[in-house]
Structure 1
Amino acid sequence: MQGACNVALLLVLMTPFSFFPIAASAQQAAEHYPDRPIRILLPFAAGGSTDGPMRVLAKHVSESLKQPVIIDYRPGAGGTLATQTVYSMKPDGYTLAVAVAGVYRMPYTMKINWDPSSDLTYVIGITGYAFGVVVPASSPFKTMNDMIAYAKQHPGVVTYGTPGVATTNHLTMERVAMKFGVKFNHIPYKGSGESLQALMAGQVDSAAETSAFVPLVQTGKLRVLTVWGQERMPRFPQIPTLRELGIDIVQSSPWGLVAPKGTDPAIVRKLHDAFKEAMGKEDFKKMLAQFDMTPEYRSSADFQAFAAAAMKNEKATIEQLGLNLKQ
C-alpha cells in the first residue's frame, strides 16, 4: 500500500515538469523565429494595387527578419481563397494571407463551418483601396450617368468586369444598379490585372476596379466615370464620387494580414512589428500613392475588432441586395 502511495506521490511531483519540454520548445521556436522563408498568400493574380504594395513590404520585412518573404498568388473564390488556405495551415507563423473584405462575407456567400472573425489570427491592418468605374477611352459613355441611362434602355446589356464574385467591386456595383433601377451584366475575373486586360481587349464595356486603373487612365487608354471614396481623387479632380451622383456609398475596403488561429503571440508580435516598420518606409508610401492609396494601420487587436464589425455590415449588405450567393 505504501509502495502504491509512493508511486502516486512521484507521479504528482513529476506532473508539473512533464509540460516543461513542450513549453520550452514553443518558447525556443518563437525566439528563433523565423528560421526559414515566410509565405504571404495574395488573393488575386499578379499585378494590381494589392500586389505592388505587398511586394515592397515583403522586401523590407525580409531585410528586417533576415529571411525571404515570398508572395504566393492564390486568386479565386472572390478574393477569399488565400484566407481559406491559411485557415487550415499549421499555426507556425510561416504562412500568412492578405485578408480582404470578401473574407467577412464568406459565411453568407459560401458554405463554411468556421468564423473568419474569431478563427484566424489577425496580425496587422495595412491599407485600403481606392475604387472607381472605368471604360475604354473610345467608349460612348462619357459619364456614369451616360452608362446608367443606356443600361435603363438596354437591361442586362452593359457588362462590367471585377476581380470576382462577391468582391467589394461586385457588390457595390449591384448596389448602384439597385439604386437606379437598372440591370448590369457582371463578368468576374481572377484579379484586377485580368479584369483590366479584358477591358482593354474589348471583352467588357466597363470595369469596377481598384486604382490599378490609374496608369491606364494617365496614358489615355481608359476613362474614369466615378470614384468611390469620401472625396474626389486628387489625381482626377473632375471625376465625381458616388455620393455626388446621389448614391450614399463610400468604399475603401481595408485589408491586412492574417495567420492561422493559434499562432504564438510572440511570433505575431514579431510579424506585426516588422510590417509596421516597413509601412513607414518611403518607397511603400510612394507605391501606395501610385494607386491613390494611403496607409491605414491597425494593430492586431484593432484589426480583429474591425473584422467582427465588418462581418455584421457585410451580412446587412447581402440581405439588402437579396443575394443568395451560397453554393
Structure 2
Amino acid sequence: MNTPLSRRSALQSGLRTGTALVASTAFPGLWTSAQAQAAWPSKPIRLLVPFAPGGSSEIVARSAATEISKTLGQNVFVENKPGASGNIAMQECAASTDGHTMILGHIGTLAVNPFIFDKLPFDTNRDFRPISLLAKVPSLYVVNADVPAKNLKEFIALAKAKPGQLNYGSAGNGSAGHLAFEYLKMASNIFVLHVPYRGTGPQLTDLLAGRLDAASVGAPAILGHIKSGKLRCIATGTKERLPQLPDVPTVAESGYPGFEMTQWYGLNAPASMPQVAIDKIAEACAKAMRNPLATERLRGDTAQPVGDTPAQYAAFIKTEQERWKLVAARAKIKPD
C-alpha cells in the first residue's frame, strides 16, 4: 500500500536524484572533479628514483614512500632507474600519462642539468609539476682513512702540494657530490681530479676500498662509515655543526665564510598528472614529513624533513636554478 510516508520518502529520494542530475548536467566539471578526487589513486603509484641504490636518494625516497602509502591507501613502490645524470628516469616520467607515476626531484636533475646539457628530451620546468620538497640533506666532505689529512685545512694544503695527484669521486657529472666538490675547489683554489661514477653506491665502494681519495656525499649514506672509522669527515657543508658530528667543523669555520652546500630531494610529477592527484600527494607529503616515525628516521640520518606546498617547492626550485646556473658555468661542468 502506498502510504503518505512512503510517498514522501520517494519524493525526497527523487528530489535528491534530480538535484544530483541537474548538478552533473549544469556543472559537469564539479561532478567529474568530485568523482576523480574520490577515485584517485586507483592503483599503486610508481616513484622513480633517477640514481643507483645505496645513496641518500634511496633513504629519503623509501622513508617518504612508506608514509605516503599509509595516507593514500595505495602502495608507493620505489624504482631505481639510473643513467645519463638522471635524465633517463626524467624522460620516462615526463612521457608518463598513467596518472600514477612520479619522480624524486633533486638538485642535479632540476637545478643543474638544464644548464650543462646542450639539449634535453624534455623541458625541466614545463614538463614537470612540483609537488613537495621532502627533505634537505647535509653534504659531508670525507676522505679515505689512509689519506694523511685530519681536517679540511690539511686536505687543502695536501692538494696544493700535489696538484692533480689527488682525486675525488661523485655519483656522476652534475650530481650533488660533483657540485659540492667543485664548489669547494672554487672556494679554496685547489685542483683535485674528478672521477664520475654511475651512482653513489659504486662510488662508495671505491672510496671505501681506497681507490678514491675523497668525496662529498649526502650524510645519510656515509654516516655509518664515518662512525666506524672507514671514512674520515674533514668538514660539513652546513651552516652549523651537526649534532651527530659535533667535533667536525663546517667549511665556513675552516676559513671560507659564507660557504654552504646542502643537497635536497622533492617529489615531481609529469605535467599530465591531474590536479587532484597533485593536491592529494602534497597533503600526504606534509603529513608524512610531520610523522614522528619518519621525522626520527630521517633526522637520525641527518636529513631535515620539509614537506611544503607545490607553490613553495616551485619557488625553491627557481631559486636553486638561479644559484647553480652560475656555479655550473664557472666550474665548466659538462655531462658525461
**Quick one: distance in 2 between partners of 1:139 and 1:236?**
20
Match of 1:273 in 2: 283
**Quick one: distance in 2 between partners of 1:276 and 1:181?**
41
Q: Is 1:97 aligned with 2:107?
A: no
Pick from 126, 135, 141 the counterpart of residue 134 of structure 2: 126
Inter-CA distance 179–57: structure 2 relative to 1 (3 Å threshold) = closer
Q: Is 1:178 aligned with 2:200?
A: no
Match of 1:83 in 2: 90
**Quick one: distance in 2 between partners of 1:230 and 1:179?**
16
1:42-57 pair list within 5 angstroms: 42-57=49-64
Which deviations, in whole Å up to 9, do the C-alpha atoms of 1:42-78 show, x marking residues without a partner?
1222223221232122122222222221100012333
Off by >4 Å, runs of 4+ in structure 1? 22-27
Match of 2:226 in 1: 217
What displacement does 1:215 show? 0.6
Inter-CA distance 106–130: structure 2 relative to 1 (3 Å threshold) = same
What displacement does 1:185 show? 0.9
Match of 1:303 in 2: 313
Letter in 2 for 1:291: D
Match of 1:68 in 2: 75
**Quick one: distance in 1 between partners of 2:285 and 2:54?**
21
Q: Is 1:256 aligned with 2:256?
A: no
Inter-CA distance 106–149: structure 2 relative to 1 (3 Å threshold) = same
Q: Is 1:234 aligned with 2:243?
A: yes
Q: Is 1:286 aligned with 2:296?
A: yes
Pick from 205, 209, 217 the counterpart of residue 201 of structure 1: 209
Contact 2:60 2:265 in 1 (8 A): no
Contact 2:169 2:207 in 1 (8 A): yes
For 1:245, what is the secondary structure of its paired residue? coil
Contact 2:286 2:306 in 1 (8 A): no
For 1:133, what is the secondary structure of its paired residue? strand
Which deviations, in whole Å up to 9, do the C-alpha atoms of 1:134-175 show, x marking residues without a partner?
122232221222222222222221111111111222122122
What displacement does 1:115 show? 3.6
Inter-CA distance 197–213: structure 2 relative to 1 (3 Å threshold) = same
Match of 1:314 in 2: 324
For 2:56, what is the secondary structure of its paired residue? coil
Pick from 157, 163, 166 the counterpart of residue 165 of structure 2: 157
For 1:126, what is the secondary structure of its paired residue? strand
Inter-CA distance 59–217: structure 2 relative to 1 (3 Å threshold) = same
What displacement does 1:314 show? 1.7
What displacement does 1:204 show? 0.6
Match of 1:8 in 2: none
Letter in 2 for 1:318: A
**Quick one: distance in 2 between partners of 1:86 and 1:118?**
13
Match of 2:48 in 1: 41
Contact 1:155 1:183 in 2 (8 A): yes
Letter in 2 for 1:93: G
Match of 1:169 in 2: 177
What displacement does 1:209 show? 0.6
What displacement does 1:27 show? 5.6
Match of 1:243 in 2: 252
Letter in 2 for 1:166: G
TM-score where L is the length of structure 2? 0.84
For 1:195, what is the secondary structure of its paired residue? helix
What displacement does 1:324 show? 5.4
* Alignment length (residue pairs): 308
Contact 1:49 1:291 in 2 (8 A): no
For 1:292, what is the secondary structure of its paired residue? coil
Contact 1:56 1:283 in 2 (8 A): no
Inter-CA distance 226–52: structure 2 relative to 1 (3 Å threshold) = same
Pick from 122, 135, 151 the counterpart of residue 143 of structure 2: 135
Once the two structures are aligned, what percentage of the paired residues are identical?
Answer: 29
Unaligned runs of 5+ in 1: 1-16
**Quick one: distance in 2 between partners of 1:324 and 1:136?**
25
Which deviations, in whole Å up to 9, do the C-alpha atoms of 1:64-120 show, x marking residues without a partner?
222221100012333444333212211x43111011011222221111265423431
**Quick one: distance in 2 between partners of 1:293 and 1:124?**
16
**Quick one: distance in 2 between partners of 1:190 and 1:94?**
27
